[in-house]
Structure 1
Amino acid sequence: MDHLIVTVFAPDKPGQVEQIASCIAKHGGNWLESRMTHMAGQFAGILRIGVPADAYTDLKNALEGLSVHGIRVLFAEVGIDSGPRRPINMELVGNDRPGIVRDVTRLLAEQGVNVESLVTNVDPAPMSSELLFRANAVLGLPLELTLDALQARLETLADELMVELKLKADE
Structure 2
Amino acid sequence: MKHIVISFLGKDKPGIVDTLAKTIKLHHGNWQTSSMRKLSGFFAGILEVSVDNEHSENLLAALKDIEGLSISTEVTEPVSLADETIRLDLTANDRIGIIGEISSVIHAQGGNLVKLVSTQGNAPHFGQKLFKATATIAITGDDHIDSLVGALEGIADDLIVDVVVN
TM normalised by structure 1 equals: 0.87
Query: Residues of 1 paired with 2:91 and 2:60: CA distance?
Result: 41
Q: Does 1:7 align with 2:3?
A: no
Q: Secondary structure at the match of 1:58?
A: helix
Query: Residues of 2 paired with 1:165 and 1:144: CA distance?
Result: 16
8 Å CA contact 2:3–2:76 kept in 1: the answer is: yes
Number of residues paired by the alignment? 166
8 Å CA contact 1:7–1:46 kept in 2: the answer is: yes
Query: Residues of 1 paired with 2:80 and 2:50: CA distance?
Result: 21
- Cα RMSD (Å): 2.0
The one-letter amino acid paired with 2:22 is S
Equivalence for 1:146: 144
Q: Does 1:163 align with 2:159?
A: yes
Q: Which moved more, 1:95-104 or 1:48-57?
A: 48-57
Mark the CA change 1:81 to 1:28 in structure 2 (over 3 Å): closer, same or farther.
closer
Give structure 2 stretches of 5+ with no counterpart.
none
Query: Residues of 2 paired with 1:118 and 1:164: CA distance?
Result: 16
Matches within 5 A, 1:45-64: 45-64=45-64
Equivalence for 1:111: 109
Q: Secondary structure at the match of 2:73?
A: strand
Q: Secondary structure at the match of 1:88?
A: strand
Query: Residues of 2 paired with 1:30 and 1:58: CA distance?
Result: 14
8 Å CA contact 1:94–1:163 kept in 2: the answer is: yes
Give structure 1 stretches of 5+ with no counterpart.
none
8 Å CA contact 1:85–1:143 kept in 2: the answer is: no
Query: Residues of 2 paired with 1:16 and 1:87: CA distance?
Result: 32
Structure 1 residue runs of 4 or more that deviate by more than 6 Å after TM superposition: none
Equivalence for 1:134: 132
Q: Secondary structure at the match of 1:18?
A: helix
User: How far does residue 146 in structure 1 lie from its aligned partner after superposition?
Assistant: 3.0
The one-letter amino acid paired with 1:115 is L
Query: Residues of 2 paired with 1:129 and 1:64: CA distance?
Result: 44
Matches within 5 A, 1:97-108: 97-108=95-106
Equivalence for 1:28: 28
8 Å CA contact 2:3–2:78 kept in 1: the answer is: no
Query: Residues of 2 paired with 1:138 and 1:112: CA distance?
Result: 14
Q: Secondary structure at the match of 1:57?
A: helix
The one-letter amino acid paired with 2:6 is V
8 Å CA contact 1:87–1:141 kept in 2: the answer is: yes
| 1:105-151 deviation line (CA, Å, top 9, x unaligned) | 00101122111221111111111221111111111113475322222
- Give the fraction of aligned pairs with identical amino acids, expressed as a percent: 31
